[in-house]
Amino acid sequence: MDKAEIFNTIVGIMMNDSSTLKDIKGINPDAFREQLNPDMEDEDFLYLVKSYLAGFGVVSHVSFGSHQAPAKGFELRKNSGRLFVTSAAEGTGLKKGDEIIAVAGLGIDDFFRENQAVFVSAKEERQYLDWAYLVKRSGCVDVVRDGRTISQQIGDADPGTLPDALFEARFLNENTYYMKMEDFAHEEEIQRLYDDLEANIEKIDHLIIDVRVNNGGSDSLYFPLLPYALPEGKGYDDVDQEAYGMEILHTEANVDRRLAEFSSYLQTEGISEETKVLLEEMAGELRRNRGKGFVKYDSDNSYFAGVTGRKNAPEKVYILSDVTCGSSGDNFVSMMKQMPKVTVVGRPTLGILDYSNCVMLHFGKYYFLYPTSRSLAIDEGKGMNDVGVIPDIHIPWSEEHLQRDVDLDYVLSLIK
């Protein structure tokens, strides 16, 4: 496909197959078509398509990118109008704690105004993905580092310094256990965490689960944590909870694409039985409803029927959350927050579950992600888009977070 064909295919999908179509019309694509040129640079094409998709206002679950783009290798956070580097790999030219004060020669406010079309959200804490893309694209920034202002070229991250998703478990004191889970996709690593938790459960009074960075995955991979969070002897259905369900857009194209993805994923080595059951249940629904448009998803929740709170379990569970927790991470925080002995501490999650169950399409060097399900919470005015899951205890992000773990220190003070 040439660039015009790719763009028109994306427009057609957003008009016919994306589950956003009930609520969001987006921007008229004609103005973007006029800018298309078969000889335009790849970066300019990426910028154009991203600008079109930004008009739908859906972070992450509506996205376009290049398979050939090198890993950014850094994370940014905008806070009170200031742009900070919160992590950086070797080779990028950036360091944790840098404050970026200019991008491509423009101050932060002026650069934002010039590139506002690319930003999906109007809320600065939810713009970190767009800022990272634009900083990488610009190639040059001015930063304040150790009290000095320097001009810094943005380089490619050294692959050897790029961190893998982090899974960690350790005692913070004799009866407080800490677990970090940066996604719900790496089944073997997650199972090792659960094995370690079970091996130490007799000693644990307080469990802290850190999903401040969590890139989602499969909901079934956090289900084994429910017995630790439920009150002893109580089932999932015994807990007061808000549950709205979802509807799935069963266009023929969506069903065929999702079934192909399920088939591929089910071949993954080490996939859990819970994940298999969940995928096979959803595949059955897809086949039954092919071509029927929006249909409410009818889950039998068979997994939850046998889940009850354990006797050997922590007295209290704390969840650390932040805007860099999304998708299945959103769902995990939302579900755990409703458990009586769970307290969520930190900042709202990314909040991208209004439109979910995504399909990824590949156009040579490019990829396009779009959602096929729609949360029924939207119809009740309870959607989470651009809001996220609100923590029980909100700790605003500040520069101090660059120096120490403010959130974890706060939870430890509560425990004391």
Instruction: Tokens for 385, please give them.
Output: 């888009």
Structural domain ending residue among the three candidates 161, 184, 218: 161
Residues 297 and 389 in one domain: yes
Residue 206 lies in a domain: yes
At 301, the pLDDT band (50, 70, 90 cuts) reads low
Counting the structural domains of the chain, the total is 2
* Lookup: tokens for 172: 């913070």
Question: In this structure, what CATH number is given to the domain that contains residue 221?
Answer: 3.90.226.10
Q: Of the candidates 98, 131, 161, which is a domain's last residue?
A: 161
Confidence of residue 300 (pLDDT cuts 50, 70, 90): low
CB neighbours (10 Å) of residue 24? 17
What integer pLDDT is reported at residue 240 of this predicted model?
A: 73
Q: Give the pLDDT confidence score for residue 303 in this predicted structure.
A: 66
Residue 302: pLDDT band with limits 50, 70, 90 = low
Say whether both 332 and 380 belong to one domain.
yes
- Choosing from 161, 188, 208, the residue where a domain stops is 161
Q: Verify that 187 and 335 share a domain, yes or no.
A: yes
Does residue 301 lie in a domain region?
A: yes
Task: Please indicate, yes or no, whether residues 250 and 399 belong to a single structural domain of this protein.
Answer: yes
Phi, psi of 81 (to 5 degrees): 85, 0
Tell me the H-state helices in 266-404.
273-288, 302-305, 328-337
**Residue 129 and residue 76: Cα distance in Å, rounded?**
8
Check whether residue 181 and residue 235 sit in a common domain: yes
Q: Count of alpha carbons within 13 Å of 62, Cβ hemisphere only?
A: 32
Q: What is the pLDDT of residue 327?
A: 94
Residue 138 lies in a domain: yes
Indicate the range of 10-24, 180-194, 297-311, 322-336 predicted with least confidence: 297-311
Q: Is residue 30 part of a domain?
A: no
CATH code assigned at 78: 2.30.42.10
Q: Based on the domain organization, do 251 and 124 belong to the same domain?
A: no
Do 92 and 237 lie in one domain? The reply is no
SS (H, E, C) 272-285: CHHHHHHHHHHHHH
Residue 354 clears pLDDT 90, i.e. is over it: yes
DSSP-assigned states of every residue in 30-80: HHHHTT--TTS-HHHHHHHHHHHHHTT--TTTSEEEETTSPP--EEEEEET
CA distance 356 to 328: 9
Mean pLDDT of 31-37: 95
Q: Which pLDDT score, from 0 to 100, does residue 163 have?
A: 76
Please check whether residue 378 lies inside any domain of the structure. Answer: yes
If you average pLDDT over residues 146-160, what whole number do you get? Answer: 94
Residue 141 lies inside a defined structural domain of this protein: yes
271 and 172 share one domain: yes
10 domain residue, yes or no: no
Q: What angle (nearest 5°) sits at the alpha carbon of residue 272, between those of residues 268 and 273?
A: 120
In one letter, which amino acid is 344?
V
Model confidence pLDDT, tens digit, residues 70-98: 889 999 999 999 999 999 999 999 999 99
Partners of 214 in the β-ladder: 325
CA distance 118 to 32: 13
Domain hosting 142: range is 74-161
How does pLDDT run across 38-62, given as a tens digit for each residue? 899 999 999 999 999 999 999 999 9
pLDDT at 127: 97
Do residues 192 and 151 share a domain? no
Tokens standing for 189? 């690593």
- Same domain for 409 and 328, yes or no, is yes
Contact call for residues 254 and 355 (beta carbons, < 8 A):
no
Q: What is the mean pLDDT of residues 383-409?
A: 97
Query: What does the pLDDT read at residue 220?
Result: 86
139, 234: one domain: no
- Segment 257-261 shows an average pLDDT of 95
Residue-wise pLDDT for 107-133, tens only, equals: 999 999 999 999 999 999 999 999 999
**pLDDT at residue 307 in the model:** 87
Does 96 lie in the same domain as 121?
yes
Residue 100 within any structural domain of the chain: yes
What's the mean pLDDT when you consider all of the chain?
Answer: 94
Residue whose pair of structure tokens reads 């004609």 in the numeric block: 30
Distances (CA, A) of 313 to 56, 197, 201, 317: 43, 10, 7, 9
